[in-house]
Structure 1
Amino acid sequence: MVTTPLAVVLLAGVVGMAVAFLVWLHRDRPGAGPLAAFVVAASLWAVAYGIELAMPGLEGMIRLLQVQLTLSVVIPVAWLATVVEYTGHPNWLTRRRVALLLVEPALFVTLVWSNEAHDLVWTATETRYLSSAAVALDPAYGIAYWGHLSYMLVLVLAGGLLLLRVMVGSNQLFRGQVLALLVAIGVPTVVQSLFVLGVLPVDFDPTSLSYVASGVVLSVAILRTKLLDVAPVTRELGREAIFTELDDQVVIVDEQLRVVDVNGAAVALFERDQDALLGRPLSEELPRLAETVPEPGQRAQTEMALERDGALRYYDVRVTPLYRAYGVVSGHLISLRDITERRQREQRLDVLNRLLRHDIRNEMNVVQGNADMLRDTAGSEERERIQRIIRTVDGIVDRSNKIGRVTEALESEHHRPMRLRSLLEPVVEEARDSYPDATISLSCDRDVWIEGGPSIIIAFEELIENAAEHGAAGDGTVTVEITVERRADTPGVAVRVSDDGPGIAAHEREVIRSGTETPLKHGSGVGLWLVNWIVRNLGGRMAFTDGDQPGTTVELQVPAADPETAEDGTIRADDD
């Protein structure tokens, strides 16, 4: 007849084997191998104890006790190996360290199977009847057993500290996984310790029963928290790879500004190799870089120049504090991004911008002045050619002025709530005066507000004038419609400028969409570029929409604004 304790411990074995099967399905994951050994050993231990309860003879019960004690040495070592791999430190398990870990288990197993010669593991064995009429072995443990139990507790404690370290600062998913692993080893260990100390008021060893709870916890962790699918080891390996492979130079210093670590890219900044740098004061290695580190707990960002390989390189330096538990600053992470090429490009752009906005414009004014003088004295045929020169010069000067206005606006303007209709109406009226043959209409509610600045007016002028000028049909007439809409599917305001002309060429649109120009792929002007820059500076976007009707529709998505957030007088200054 199967007794209740026997049924319980056999159930523990079945549950353990089921969990072992789940672990086997994830055998290629970090920590799966030792976790499987942990679960299988615990399950076989439960089965051996269950058979012991059904064993009639004392000698057979002692042999089964020896089997259980042998299996018990696997559990703490396997669990510690699981934790080490799970937390991302598999390199700790070197052959030498594993051999040292196995010295005590090997010695204890030897003592278990030779106990009759020395009585160090148990000194006497008795049997007792359980309440269910089953017979259980009641050994009197010796010094070797208590030493082994202490060793088990040390390994369990070491693994627990590693898990607690991961739990601090982890997200909810990893906290659930860590808690499952702690319960899986903590509950059986505590139960076993209390039982052998005689604290628990039970007749049979409940350690096997506690492994039932551990098996259930591990099953839930595997199925619901993806214990063996998403582990901190992957995150740690990813962070290590980022730190190692990052092109930016990264230096980590402690609170005393001593170098703790550097990545491969940062080694070139120093005169020492990576190993020799560790522990060195940053102020002695790179004094200028040490000066960028702020007070503890503060961030900093600056640009600095460092000499490297005989050349001066410029870096964008960012300093971030590193925190321990309870908000204690333990050091700083210093990242340096080489911006030498960016600075050179900016210098070239500054020179070209000055050349376009000042030198060429001044020279064009000279050309225009001389052309005006020649036109007054030239004949009719030459006058027409001179007039063409003047129109060309006027176009160049106008584009230069427009680019200058946009550049200054993008560099200095502050965005604020503005009534959209108050911005569009003057632009529409000016376009009607400039293009009397064009039919220009505006549809915009008065309660539409956008977040913008003076540059947005330039964008509206460019779009409306471009539609009125280039959208004209063969007879010179064109219809331009400006419509404004607040749509529920977008957070901004849609401003559409449509004309019924020939439309913007496909390659012109593609240049704006791709954001780059090449010698074989470029636009015919700067107007659409200016509009695109202005809208993107506001946080919006520009798009081309094709409808059933001929012509072009350019849509600007600009951020909406709440008029209540404006300062007193700010809105009224731009209002009617």
Structure 2
Amino acid sequence: MLVLSASVAIGAAATILVWRARPEPGATPLVGLLVGQCWWSACILFQLRAPTQQGILLWTDLSWIGVMTIPASWFLFSLDYTGRDQYIRPRYIALLFVVPVLTVLFALTSDYHRLLYVVSLSSNETGVVMVEEAGAWYWVAAGYTYLLGIGGMVPLLGLLTSESSTFRGQSATLFVGLLVPWATNFLYLAGLLPSLGIDPTPVAFSISGVAYLGALTHFGLLGTVPTPNGRARQLLFDRMQEGAIVVDVHDNVVDVNDSCVSILGIERRDLLGACASTVVPEYERLPDDGSLSGPLTITTENDSRPYDVTVTAISNGRGTPIGRVIRFHDIREHLRQQQRLTVLHRILRHNIRTETNIIHGYIDQFADDKNAQIVKKRTLRIDEIGEKGRDAIELFDEVRGGESPVPLATLLEQCVTTARNTHPAATIQLDVPDETVVVDSVLEPVLSNLVENALEHNPSENPHVWVAVDAGDDVCIEVADDGPGIEEYELNVLDDGIETPLKHGSGLGLWIVKWGVDIADGDIRFAANDPTGLVATVVVPRCDDAKRL
């Protein structure tokens, strides 16, 4: 009786803690489970203290309320706690409680039928209830109880292997709280546990109560819950901008998101279960895994658009293929932008240069005219801006082509050679790195612009530039000069990342430097040189030399 009293006390304490946690997911069903445990234990206590046989039998019949509430509440808790609350609806709950309600009714009316007990309940002189033979419904109720217990365990199994130690601890203590009384009850029904006629299951509730208290206080049960996990993944899949379709190993569609329904122009109900080759154009072109070579054009009743298609193979835990995810990325705007850049590139490369050459031809006829020389100088500046524009477009073309690793020494030597040819009076000191130092070729315009800017904006007749390299896990490239430095507002514009009519830089060179470093996944810093000048420091990751093979 002392153990039963402790079971009621521990269960009541856990119930109060869980009650305060409402409306957290799983709190209300867990209250029902704990109340059921306390009710069952209390009924056993009152049964042992009842002065008459009639009272003993009454408390035994009333204990069925707790017996049948526990498994139903456990099942509802498991669904709610793991984010499967779409199944917790009034009609489903009503169906779930059909067997428990009938069992309680059969227990309270057991004097009029033999569904629950073939032989009526009796008690001995010690007050212990004796059951000589159980009826058919008794085994239905027992089977239903174990079915709900196992059903409630299934959603929680995944938490035992969760990366979160909190969820692992929560699920482990929940399993202890369930399995100890369930195992005790099974051993009792199998006749393997001596009990003197008393179902020892309520005694085991003292252990489960401690487990639930531990889950609440130590592992944050109901404070940190996995409820959003499944819903969040499904929400990401359904609402992602890319279309996605999931097929099994037989190429049948098993899932599809909202975007893909719109892309294919086919109702979801018609897609699910259909053969993918009948709903996805040119399905035979798709690879088993990886990206499709070239765009895939999908035509619907209202539209026709090109898509980049990526296929990701799905395997089970044993590495056996079980399906694929096919993603469709709309590239219509990308192709339009590419077309615009191509036209712009042609204008910058040919049209501007042609017009400036014509101007040069006319200006040369007035070589001694001071104003003509000013016009010529400005014309050269226009040509230079056009060249920078072409560099910027080529920079973005390289991005579309993917990473292209090259030795840093090669890039630097090319940049320095070009700078020496255009500025023969300049002194350029280069610290040539080892050939094993490999970086992305996108740094070529970055380094060229840094060296060129250091020379162009230096008013000295003999400008100096120093290029040094420090190669470790990352590659650090310093370009230093003895010029006038750089205006603060130019750096502020780069930091902000945008230009406005009132706040803008003076050219494209620094933007090309910033864009190239960003594309190379690096960083650039500017600092004053001592005693004068600027130090530009570029830090980029090293590339895998094997990619050049």
> Are 1:46 and 2:41 counterparts?
yes
Q: Which stretch shifts more, 20-29 or 462-471?
A: 462-471
> Are 1:336 and 2:331 counterparts?
no
Q: Which stretch shifts more, 81-90 or 327-336?
A: 327-336
Structure 1: distance between partners of 2:439 and 2:132: 85
What is the match of residue 456 of structure 2? 469
Query: Structure 1 residues 306, 412: closer, same or farther in 2, change over 3 A?
Result: closer
Query: Structure 1 residues 142, 343: closer, same or farther in 2, change over 3 A?
Result: same
**Deviation of the 1:78 alpha carbon:** 0.7
What is the match of residue 3 of structure 1? none
- The one of 138, 143, 146 equivalent to 1:150 is 143
**Deviation of the 1:348 alpha carbon:** 0.7
Structure 1: distance between partners of 2:419 and 2:290: 50
Alignment of 1:517-536 (within 5 A): 517-536=499-518
Deviations 1:63-109 (A, max 9, x none): 22122222111111111111121232222233333222222222221
> Percent sequence identity over matched residues?
30
What is the match of residue 2 of structure 2? 7
| Alignment-mate amino acid for residue 506 of structure 2 | S
What is the match of residue 299 of structure 2? 307
- The one of 139, 147, 154 equivalent to 1:161 is 154
Q: Does the aligned pair in 2 maintain the 1:251–1:261 contact within 8 Å?
A: yes
- The one of 434, 445, 452 equivalent to 2:423 is 434
- The one of 334, 343, 347 equivalent to 1:351 is 343
**Deviation of the 1:216 alpha carbon:** 2.4
What is the match of residue 203 of structure 2? 209
Structure 2: distance between partners of 1:390 and 1:112: 103
Q: Does the aligned pair in 2 maintain the 1:249–1:336 contact within 8 Å?
A: yes
Structure 1: distance between partners of 2:383 and 2:277: 59
Tell me the SS of whatever aligns to 1:291. Answer: helix
- The one of 259, 262, 271 equivalent to 2:256 is 262
**Deviation of the 1:478 alpha carbon:** 6.6
**Deviation of the 1:231 alpha carbon:** 3.5
Deviations 1:349-403 (A, max 9, x none): 122113222443344344434544x25xx54546635653664466357546755
Structure 2: distance between partners of 1:249 and 1:498: 49
Structure 2: distance between partners of 1:404 and 1:118: 89
Structure 2: distance between partners of 1:404 and 1:95: 62
What is the match of residue 373 of structure 2? 384
- The one of 11, 20, 32 equivalent to 2:15 is 20
| Alignment-mate amino acid for residue 80 of structure 1 | F
Structure 2: distance between partners of 1:201 and 1:195: 7
What is the match of residue 544 of structure 1? 526
When the two chains are superposed, the root-mean-square deviation of aligned CA atoms in Å is 3.9
Alignment of 1:424-573 (within 5 A): 427=416, 434=423, 436=425, 450-452=437-439, 456=443, 458-472=445-459, 491-499=473-481, 502-545=484-527, 552-560=534-542
Query: Structure 1 residues 64, 546: closer, same or farther in 2, change over 3 A?
Result: farther
- The one of 186, 189, 200 equivalent to 2:179 is 186
Query: Structure 1 residues 312, 368: closer, same or farther in 2, change over 3 A?
Result: farther
What is the match of residue 574 of structure 1? none
TM-score of the superposition, structure 2-length normalised?
Answer: 0.84
What is the match of residue 107 of structure 1? 102
| Alignment-mate amino acid for residue 434 of structure 1 | H
Tell me the SS of whatever aligns to 2:477. Answer: strand
Q: Which stretch shifts more, 188-197 or 218-227?
A: 218-227
> Are 1:415 and 2:405 counterparts?
yes
- The one of 227, 247, 269 equivalent to 2:241 is 247
Q: Does the aligned pair in 2 maintain the 1:20–1:39 contact within 8 Å?
A: yes
| Alignment-mate amino acid for residue 524 of structure 2 | M
Structure 1: distance between partners of 2:512 and 2:284: 41
**Deviation of the 1:301 alpha carbon:** 4.0
| Alignment-mate amino acid for residue 377 of structure 2 | R
Q: Does the aligned pair in 2 maintain the 1:424–1:460 contact within 8 Å?
A: no
What is the match of residue 190 of structure 2? 197
| Alignment-mate amino acid for residue 464 of structure 1 | V
What is the match of residue 319 of structure 1? 311
Q: Does the aligned pair in 2 maintain the 1:427–1:460 contact within 8 Å?
A: no
Tell me the SS of whatever aligns to 1:314. Answer: strand
Structure 2 unaligned blocks of 5 or more: none
Query: Structure 1 residues 383, 61: closer, same or farther in 2, change over 3 A?
Result: closer
Structure 2: distance between partners of 1:125 and 1:89: 41
Deviations 1:412-446 (A, max 9, x none): 873245459x937983995699374x78767x696
Q: Aligned pair count? A: 543
**Deviation of the 1:552 alpha carbon:** 4.0
Q: Does the aligned pair in 2 maintain the 1:53–1:136 contact within 8 Å?
A: yes
Structure 1: distance between partners of 2:140 and 2:510: 82
Query: Structure 1 residues 389, 370: closer, same or farther in 2, change over 3 A?
Result: farther
What is the match of residue 63 of structure 1? 58
| Alignment-mate amino acid for residue 189 of structure 1 | W
Q: Does the aligned pair in 2 maintain the 1:417–1:566 contact within 8 Å?
A: no
**Deviation of the 1:503 alpha carbon:** 3.6
Query: Structure 1 residues 500, 53: closer, same or farther in 2, change over 3 A?
Result: farther
> Are 1:219 and 2:208 counterparts?
no
Q: Does the aligned pair in 1 maintain the 2:110–2:120 contact within 8 Å?
A: no
**Deviation of the 1:341 alpha carbon:** 0.8
Tell me the SS of whatever aligns to 2:182. Answer: helix
Tell me the SS of whatever aligns to 1:140. Answer: coil
Structure 2: distance between partners of 1:291 and 1:92: 39
Structure 1: distance between partners of 2:39 and 2:144: 21
Deviations 1:242-288 (A, max 9, x none): 23332322333333333333333333234543334333333333333
Structure 2: distance between partners of 1:200 and 1:263: 54
Query: Structure 1 residues 518, 167: closer, same or farther in 2, change over 3 A?
Result: same
**Deviation of the 1:195 alpha carbon:** 0.8
| Alignment-mate amino acid for residue 466 of structure 1 | N
Query: Structure 1 residues 178, 366: closer, same or farther in 2, change over 3 A?
Result: same
Structure 2: distance between partners of 1:213 and 1:547: 72
Tell me the SS of whatever aligns to 2:191. Answer: coil
Structure 1: distance between partners of 2:308 and 2:393: 28
Tell me the SS of whatever aligns to 2:97. Answer: helix
| Alignment-mate amino acid for residue 470 of structure 1 | H
Deviations 1:18-75 (A, max 9, x none): 2222322322221111111101210221233234334454333222212222211111
Structure 2: distance between partners of 1:155 and 1:566: 57
Alignment of 1:364-403 (within 5 A): 364-372=356-364, 374-375=365-366, 379-381=368-370, 384-385=373-374, 387-388=376-377, 391-392=380-381, 395=384, 399=388
Query: Structure 1 residues 523, 240: closer, same or farther in 2, change over 3 A?
Result: same
Query: Structure 1 residues 124, 196: closer, same or farther in 2, change over 3 A?
Result: farther
Structure 2: distance between partners of 1:510 and 1:225: 49
Structure 1: distance between partners of 2:526 and 2:463: 19
